[in-house]
Amino acid sequence: MRNRRSIVGMVLLTLCCACSGGGTGPGDVTGPVASIAVDAATTTSVFIGSTISLVASAHNSSGATIAGQTFTWSSSNPLVATVSSAGVVTGVAAGVASISASIGSIVGQNTIAVSASAAQLSCANVTPLALNVGDVHQFTGLERSSLCINGGAGSEYALVAFNSSLDTGTTVQTVSLLATSTVPVVNGPTPQLIGGGPRVSARRVPRNVDFEMRMREMERRELNPRFAAARAWYAGRSRSFAAPRGISAITNLPPTPVVGSPLSLNGNATSACGTPQPHGATIVAVSTRAIIAVDTLVPPNGFTNADYQNFAAAFDTLIYPLDTLNFGAPTDIDGNGRVLLFFSQLVNQLSLPGQGSYVGGFFFGRDLFPLTSTATLAACAGSNVGEMFYLPVVDATSQYNAYFNNKPIVTSQVLTTVVHEFQHLINAGRHLYVNTAATRLEESWLDESQAMLAQELLYYRVSGFAPKQKLTWVTISTGANANGAQLDLVKAYLVQGLELLNSYLSSPETSTPYSNTENLQTLGAGWQFMRYLLDNTTGTQATFSRAIDNGAVTGFANLSNVFSTSLPALASTYQSWAIAQYVDGTGVSSNPAYANPSWNYRSVLPNALSLTSYPLRIRPLTPAVPVSVALRGGAASFIRFRVNAGLTAQIIPANGIAASTLVTYALVRTF
């Protein structure tokens, strides 16, 4: 330290000489800068609102000080501490920040700790916060270390802590809070808001979302490196599809195949480009937009040829126009202008008996890649080389499991699966062959959010409802239209998505709408956020959903481009969506930023799933009982408390250290 201080003194003396017009003398050290030291004159701690000065010194490879250098100063976290061009550091909020001084690529650093002073931590020295019912208050820097709240005549609050990190949910931030003078709430809104009308008597077994997420990740891992080769094949292939070209079974078919024609398809669902498992199939129906093929080994007493023709008609008249309007036109690499729907017991076998979830079918991106390789072309040996889906068959005797023995239920599952998987097909095809500025498939979480949106749009189409109608349980469960009873449509097309949303709301602190490795919770949260984002954007919704599927970039960058917003503003939108989880449907706030214009989830969710209350997890905040929560990126904690009349409550970090500034706090007065 003594040597360093003498070095600092030499630097200051040299700088003073330079300021008075002096230059580099014959005895001064010169040469390239090898390292930089950043030192504080007295301490590396600073209070919020106060300043300290840092001094930088440059050194050569021998450690000698090089005088007369100009440094560029920066802070790793300006929300905690800022630094001037002269090295003066100002504390902004409790936390730590790394302060850097650099010359070109050479950087020196020192860590600064920012804390609140004793006076700032005392409610006796500040004006306590006073809110009106419905107000939403974002914590300032000092309030993150100590928030004082005026109880007035008695007031109640919901505190929403949100991890705003946009890193696909991997960064975990710890929230630890301690309160004084708080008590449990005694007034509404309660967790339960039940509307009238008949309730759904039985909940559906959920889809095995983990299977689908693993498949999406396998696609990105194995297929993204093949993008350039596939595009080269696509650009150079023959444009005439009138004659068989020997590439795959699908492309060997004529554009309008004859019913009864045989073909062989790879049905391996666990490998993208290796170990093909060919299965014989037969064409059973052909329509304007669909080809229906059925595995030759399906169990008896299942779908009839008339049923398959009905699926083809539903694809033509309902699903194809719905998905292409909202997500764009599919590719047509097999040249037949149709999508092949392959019904096979192979899909049934993916659901293990008694596991509590089922695989309802899938799209596999490998089928959009060329089949054979050349010296310069890395292809996908498992590809069927055509636009297609894989779907289950009726298993009347439960030969494989009990998930597909009810024909009417399997029928509705097929339609829901097809509209979901068709979005995946469109998304992959447009990223691969249409928008050649794209360099990879879409991130799994955003791709799945779009597919869940497709399922919701199918429900709107068959029920006659539309977005932004603030649907309640009474509205969607009573009455009838030309398509049948509304309650039956809820069971067939909506309950599955609501089950996923319930999974998210039950565990919002560990769930996120943007993780590539999650399952039920990610799909539920991702769907709800996509609906929230579209509902709170001016313009035709289909324009935005189509733009996402046609993005030149992926993930957050794609959303940022499509909705013309910066990444910090996108993070703020996610936080507003999190606040809406609690506020919307309660009548507490009229702010549209905290509303879901399409749905009253507090009314719909408990009734549709036969729950006893709205499932959002709430934590109490009582005196001297710390609340400690680990939040993933995109996750939120909902904390409730009351301040009785005439009292002032205080909320501070339980361990004395404020959470990372990635964690945002919003306080909502509810009563």
Residues 504, 644: one domain?
no
pLDDT tier for residue 308 given thresholds of 50, 70 and 90: very high
pLDDT: which is higher, 217 or 6: 217
What is the extent of the structural domain holding 501? 209-594
Residues 580, 622: one domain?
no
The partner residues of 445 in beta bridges, in order of sequence, read: none
Contacts of 20 (CB under 8 A, 6+ apart): none
Element (H, E) at 497: helix 495-506
Residues 637, 559: one domain?
no
CA 274 – CA 366 distance, rounded (Å): 10
Residues 83-100: pLDDT tens digits?
A: 999 999 998 887 789 999
The partner residues of 630 in beta bridges, in order of sequence, read: 174
Asked if residue 608 belongs to a domain, the reply is no
Residues 66-75: pLDDT tens digits?
A: 998 999 999 9
The answer to whether the beta carbons of residues 608 and 494 sit under 8 Å apart is yes
Residue type, 52: I
Residues 577-618: pLDDT tens digits?
A: 999 999 999 989 989 999 999 999 999 999 899 888 899 999
Closest to 91 measured CA to CA, from 108, 78, 74, 110:
78
Report the SS3 class of residue 321: helix
Asked if residue 601 belongs to a domain, the reply is no
Residue 108 CB-density burial (10 A; 0-12 exposed, 13-18 middle, 19+ buried): buried
Asked if residue 74 belongs to a domain, the reply is yes
Beta strands, E only, 232-362: 262-266, 278-286, 290-295, 339-343
Residues 184, 37: one domain?
no
Residues 478-509: pLDDT tens digits?
A: 865 545 588 888 988 999 899 999 999 999 99
Contacts of 403 (CB under 8 A, 6+ apart): 205, 348, 351, 358, 395
The partner residues of 106 in beta bridges, in order of sequence, read: 103
Residues 26, 163: one domain?
no
Residues 107, 133: one domain?
no
Residues 371-420: pLDDT tens digits?
A: 766 554 567 888 999 999 999 999 999 999 999 999 998 998 999 999 99
Residues 319, 443: one domain?
yes
Report the SS3 class of residue 159: strand
Residues 638, 589: one domain?
no
- Last residue of one domain, picked from the residues 115, 139, 162: 115
Q: What is the pLDDT of residue 644?
A: 96
Residues 239, 348: one domain?
yes
Residue 535 CB-density burial (10 A; 0-12 exposed, 13-18 middle, 19+ buried): middle
Q: How many domains does the chain have?
A: 3
- Whole-number average pLDDT of the chain: 87
- Last residue of one domain, picked from the residues 115, 134, 154: 115
Asked if residue 198 belongs to a domain, the reply is no
pTM of the model: 0.83
The partner residues of 439 in beta bridges, in order of sequence, read: none
Asked if residue 153 belongs to a domain, the reply is yes
- Last residue of one domain, picked from the residues 90, 115, 140: 115
Residues 49, 147: one domain?
no
Report the SS3 class of residue 375: coil
Residues 459, 512: one domain?
yes
pLDDT tier for residue 22 given thresholds of 50, 70 and 90: very low
Q: What is the pLDDT of residue 6?
A: 41
Asked if residue 611 belongs to a domain, the reply is no
Residues 375, 442: one domain?
yes
Cβ-based neighbour number of residue 630 at 10 Å: 14
Asked if residue 606 belongs to a domain, the reply is no
The number of C-alpha atoms within 13 Å of 441 and in the hemisphere containing its C-beta is 30
pLDDT tier for residue 119 given thresholds of 50, 70 and 90: low
Q: What is the DSSP letter of 299?
A: P
CA 526 – CA 417 distance, rounded (Å): 17
Q: What is the pLDDT of residue 275?
A: 85
Asked if residue 199 belongs to a domain, the reply is no
Phi, psi of 640 (to 5 degrees): -115, 150
Domain containing residue 46: CATH number: 2.60.40.1080
Cβ-based neighbour number of residue 41 at 10 Å: 10
